[in-house]
Amino acid sequence: MTPALPWLIFLCFAFVSIYEAAKLPFGTVSAPGAGFFPVILAALLAVISLSGVIAAFRQAVGQENLETSLVWKKIILTVTALLGFGVLFEPAGYLATTFLFVVFQLRIAERKSWALAGVVAFSASLVSYILFGLVLGAPLPAGFLSI
């Protein structure tokens, strides 16, 4: 199995997501429509996946025996975390769910320290909430924080 295969799967997923999200009204930056964020996020996924494909092919040229089980473990952990994000998004709210997702990714999937995971998760949650919720006015669920 080629190390680029997971990246190619994500690239295909990104293209399908862009195609489906393009059917929704896009809107503008000041008044985003229902398709605005899905298209932007899918385009970012496509760019990241394409860079992963390129890096995997470059790495494969230099090394013949790559350990792919670690790659698949990270993919499975990430997909599981995304499913959990989708399930918890409404009841727990944007801030809490984003914080937990980033902590999970950094601590469990990437094996970073608790301190780094906490600081990055807090910063990412807060900055993304300020950008999307306050600046762009996107309706983000408050979850249990709305009490």
Q: How many CA atoms lie within 13 A of 3 on its CB side?
A: 21
Where is pLDDT greater, at 69 or 80?
Answer: 80
pLDDT, tens digit, 9 for 90 and up, residues 78-128:
888 888 888 888 888 889 999 999 999 999 888 889 999 999 999 999 999
| pLDDT at 69 exceeding the cut of 70 | no
Give pTM, 2 decimals: 0.56
Q: 63 falls in which pLDDT band (50, 70, 90)?
A: low
Question: Long-range pairs for 85-90 at CB < 8 Å and ≥24 separation?
Answer: 89/141, 90/141, 90/143
Structure token digits, residue 118: 């906490």
Structure token digits, residue 30: 């000041």
Where is pLDDT greater, at 66 or 135?
Answer: 135
Q: DSSP letters of the chain? A: --TTHHHHHHHHHHHHHHHHHTTS--B-SSSB-TTHHHHHHHHHHHHHHHHHHHHHHHHHHH-S----HHHHHHHHHHHHHHHHHHHHHHHH-HHHHHHHHHHHIIIIIS---HHHHHHHHHHHHHHHIIIIIIIS------GGGG-
Domain assignments of the chain as residue spans, ordered by start: 1-66, 67-147
Where is pLDDT greater, at 126 or 147?
Answer: 126
pLDDT, tens digit, 9 for 90 and up, residues 34-50:
888 888 888 888 888 88
Q: What is the pLDDT of residue 32?
A: 82
| pLDDT at 29 exceeding the cut of 80 | no
